[in-house]
Structure 1
Amino acid sequence: MIFARRLHGWLFALLILLGAGAIGYLTARHDRVADWTYGHRVSLSPETRAVLAKLDGPVEIVSYANPQGDLRQTIAAVLQRYQQAKPDLRLSFVDPQQDPAAMRNLGITVDGELILHYRDREQRLDTLTERSLTDALERLVRGNDRIVAFVTGDGERRPDGVANADLGLFVSQLEQSGMRAVPLNFSQTATVPDHTDLVVLASPQAALAPGAAKALVDYLGSGGNLLWLADPGNQDPSLQPLADALGIRVLPGELVDASSTALGLKDPRMIALGDYPPGAITRGFTLTTLFPEVAPLAQVRKSEWQIAPFLRSSPQAVVQSLTDTPAASLKGPLDFAFALSRLSPSPAKSEQRVVVIGNGDFLSNSYLGNGGNRALGERIFDWLLGDDQLINLPSRGAPDRVLTVSQGALNVLSTAFIVAMPLVLLLLGGFIAWRRRRA
């Protein structure tokens, strides 16, 4: 009888060991993960997986992160989910302190900044979230198939220029993400060429020829997308047909905001923003942006365009005249950027999009590196080119991450865990010991 019990015990122990070994064997060869969090927020979204499926080659990601601290582990943990879905996505780290000169040449300014390489394209990230990383991967997929024409010949900001007011740095980064910048001089052509995805009119300093203004209006009439960067003092009558076609107006004067001094800005003409009207371009955007010398905008009439402001001054802002002529007595908050959309007249596209901003300096070589200027510019171009689906990935945070407890309830919980629970355990232990002594 005793032998049978011992045999049963040994068999039971053997079965436990065999079961543990089988579980270890299966888990080492089959990866099965269940995400029970709210909204599956620790798993990749279907949109991200769809982008990864488009990448038909290896992706190299280099992170310039300091080895001290936990930053490298955090980056590796985020990218591990991507690597599970795409095994040929490889991550490597470079210590930025080993060669500061090389980091300056690469333009590395943020600890942990990432550079993504895919074929002959690259993307940069200084904030690592699923939204930003997936957007960068989508740009890598896109390739060099977007033609953006920059109007030239009238003193506009040069897309390839190195002067402080030019857009060379920003445009060169866009070209690495699959955009091809081409000049558009209306002294050499009477119309916008076919297959142009976007036209940029960046702060012309001279009056446009009548043929140029007509070509831009005709381009809008045919369903073309447009980015118009206007600066204070550019109330050029030659641009009035374009403004009329959009139903907007660039107001005279410039914005000044005395509250900018609270942010350490000495010039009240520097408009700093950290909060934005909700819209397709600024949804989920929280970075601070800086705009020097801003022209206010206004919608002057209703039209078939849907007009949504996405840059707006603080209530303390006012309009200051640039000349001896008094400016309109306008007070903030004042809009200085509009996103316009409508059903496209062209059968090849479903929607036509236009952005008008009363400032061009925020994307210039001088101010591109300020705060989120570059990130906002990328969002504007993505929206204009129709790549907004993956930029605006839905937020999948948990709704109950913050527990609000009153002071009275906190006192009750503290008393229960610190005093009542140990006391109950002590009484139960004493009762059990008393029962055993009497038995």
Structure 2
Amino acid sequence: MRRLDRWLFLVVLLAIVGGLGFLSSRHAWTADWTHGARASLAPESDAVLRALDGPVDVVGYLSPTGPLREQVAAVIERYTRAKPDLTLSFVDPDLDPAASRQLGIGGDGALIVRYRGREQRVESPINERNLSNALERLARGGERVVAFVTGDGERQADGRANADLGIFMGQIEKRGIRAVPLNFSQTQGVPEHTDLVVLASPLAPLPARSVQALVDYVRDGGNLLWLTEPSNDDLGTAPLADVLGIRILPGVLVDGQGSTLNVRDPRIVVLGDYPFHAITRAFRDTTLFPQAAALAQVSAHDWAVVPFLRSGERSWTAFGGIDNDKPSTVAFHPENGELKGPLDFAFALNRLSPSPAKSEQRAVVIGDGDFLSNTYLGNGGNRALGERIVDWLLGDDVLVNLPSRGAPDRAIALSQDGLGAITLGFLVALPLLLLGIGTGIAWRRRRR
């Protein structure tokens, strides 16, 4: 009887093992137990894949000798888990020299991604970041041209000075956006096929010719990003503000809310909550805006105007000079005409496009350009917010809500109790433990 029970147990065990083997050949299940799910796709890569609603073909022009094919396959395996209709194939460039020459493939090979008749080359090295950038360019539908007005002290798109936008533009150029200079002293107007014009904080008054060119561009249906400053209300840009139906309020926006985050200068507006708009939907990162100007909508227009950046209850527009050594001593003086917050300092505008070639026209006016500068770009979610603004202006709504990029452990979130436990452990418990161990060792040696 016992022998029969043993045979039955063996048969059942073999049946279970065989069933598991059969199921594993048809169904795959994986679990990522690494910290921050580092063995899986990052959230932004997963979001890009969801934006591609058709099959994606990845072709690796790589030699069968060497480790590159295995490395590429390991990277692509993460993508196929999230998107089963993403396929990978390899071509030996030595067996297809004509295609290799046409694609400009050198001795190190290349990785080409194809989607709906378009293709993008993955930059070297071949990793998740560069592959996701290529997929995002495909989701965008082609390269977009962003023209930056130059010639009057504006922030430079390729500049490396503290006030310039070189780092920000260097990041978004990898996502299929090309920045070009636009000097109205050298051209009659905005060139055709320009997707967006950026006027970034000019220092000198704009010539009437330049202002009129911008006004004509907006009236003809062009998209505009205007980064203004507290001192920019007297630079001859009133006609541009009129065509947009907005006004730059005098004074510098100050806000005491930043003191809760150890920001001692009230001229730096710190935001963690945002009015609802497509740009700020599900956006929860903290952003910093140094010396912003408040804005107001002053006249009825055919624009739909929505504020998406707003100061807190403890804010106001400060007139006159502020002591740089003691900025926190600035006080509210309503008798001087200073306005109490909350105050809007960024507007998103849209309307039916006057151009028959476009369905909608969009514009964004922000009372601060420093938040995208090389100095402040790395603070909180400044870069992520800037990317959302540019994506929305370009009409790439599907890309606006992509999660911000960055390492999952770039910030440590500790409660006050957790911080107290760590402090007690390292400053009290650990020294006492070491002292006790040392005392015990010394006592045992003396007994010998």
TM-score, length-scaled by structure 2? 0.65
Aligned ranges for residues 257-296 of structure 1 at < 5 Å? 257-296=255-294
Residue 391 of structure 2 is matched in structure 1 by 382
Residue 251 of structure 2 is matched in structure 1 by 253
Larger deviation: 321-330 or 207-216? Answer: 321-330
Q: CA RMSD in A?
A: 3.8
After superposition, the C-alpha distances for 1:88-128 in whole angstroms (9 at most, x for unaligned) are 59xxxxxxxxxxxxxxxxxxxxxxxxxxx9613899999xx
1:182 is aligned to 2:180: yes
Go from structure 1 to structure 2 and tell me whether the alpha carbon gap of 1:157 and 1:77 turns closer, same or farther (over 3 Å shift): same
Unaligned runs of 5+ in 2: 30-42, 61-74, 90-119, 323-332, 404-448
Residues in 1 aligned to 2:21 and 2:361: alpha-carbon distance in whole angstroms: 57
Go from structure 1 to structure 2 and tell me whether the alpha carbon gap of 1:180 and 1:45 turns closer, same or farther (over 3 Å shift): closer
Residue 82 of structure 1 is matched in structure 2 by 82
Residue 298 of structure 1 is matched in structure 2 by 296
Give the letter aligned to residue 266 of structure 2. Answer: P
- 2:232 is paired with a residue whose SS is coil
Give the letter aligned to residue 371 of structure 1. Answer: G
Residues in 2 aligned to 1:122 and 1:321: alpha-carbon distance in whole angstroms: 52
After superposition, the C-alpha distances for 1:298-345 in whole angstroms (9 at most, x for unaligned) are 010121111111110011001111469986321111000000011112
- 2:371 is paired with a residue whose SS is helix
Go from structure 1 to structure 2 and tell me whether the alpha carbon gap of 1:374 and 1:76 turns closer, same or farther (over 3 Å shift): same
Go from structure 1 to structure 2 and tell me whether the alpha carbon gap of 1:316 and 1:118 turns closer, same or farther (over 3 Å shift): farther
Q: CA deviation at 1:20?
A: 2.8
Q: Is the 8 A contact 1:190 1:212 kept in 2?
A: no
Q: CA deviation at 1:51?
A: 1.9
Residue 370 of structure 1 is matched in structure 2 by 379
After superposition, the C-alpha distances for 1:353-409 in whole angstroms (9 at most, x for unaligned) are 100000000000111111111111011101111112243379xxxxxxxxxxxxxxx
The structure 2 residue matched to 1:340, chosen from 340, 344, 349, is 349
Give the letter aligned to residue 301 of structure 1. Answer: S
Residues in 1 aligned to 2:127 and 2:344: alpha-carbon distance in whole angstroms: 30
Residues in 2 aligned to 1:158 and 1:348: alpha-carbon distance in whole angstroms: 30
Give the letter aligned to residue 25 of structure 2. Answer: R
Q: CA deviation at 1:86?
A: 3.7
Q: CA deviation at 1:211?
A: 1.6
Q: Is the 8 A contact 1:143 1:177 kept in 2?
A: no
The structure 1 residue matched to 2:20, chosen from 12, 18, 24, is 24
Q: Is the 8 A contact 2:352 2:359 kept in 1?
A: yes
Residues in 1 aligned to 2:338 and 2:374: alpha-carbon distance in whole angstroms: 33
Residues in 1 aligned to 2:228 and 2:203: alpha-carbon distance in whole angstroms: 10
Q: Is the 8 A contact 1:230 1:360 kept in 2?
A: yes
Aligned ranges for residues 210-229 of structure 1 at < 5 Å? 210-229=208-227
Aligned ranges for residues 199-210 of structure 1 at < 5 Å? 199-210=197-208
Give the letter aligned to residue 52 of structure 2. Answer: V
Give the letter aligned to residue 120 of structure 1. Answer: E
1:119 is aligned to 2:122: yes
Residues in 2 aligned to 1:225 and 1:162: alpha-carbon distance in whole angstroms: 26
Residue 238 of structure 2 is matched in structure 1 by 240
Residues in 2 aligned to 1:145 and 1:23: alpha-carbon distance in whole angstroms: 51
- 1:333 is paired with a residue whose SS is coil
- 2:49 is paired with a residue whose SS is helix
Unaligned runs of 5+ in 1: 34-41, 60-74, 90-116, 127-132, 395-439
Go from structure 1 to structure 2 and tell me whether the alpha carbon gap of 1:14 and 1:264 turns closer, same or farther (over 3 Å shift): closer
Matched length: 334
Q: CA deviation at 1:148?
A: 0.2
Residues in 2 aligned to 1:10 and 1:122: alpha-carbon distance in whole angstroms: 57
Residues in 1 aligned to 2:350 and 2:127: alpha-carbon distance in whole angstroms: 29
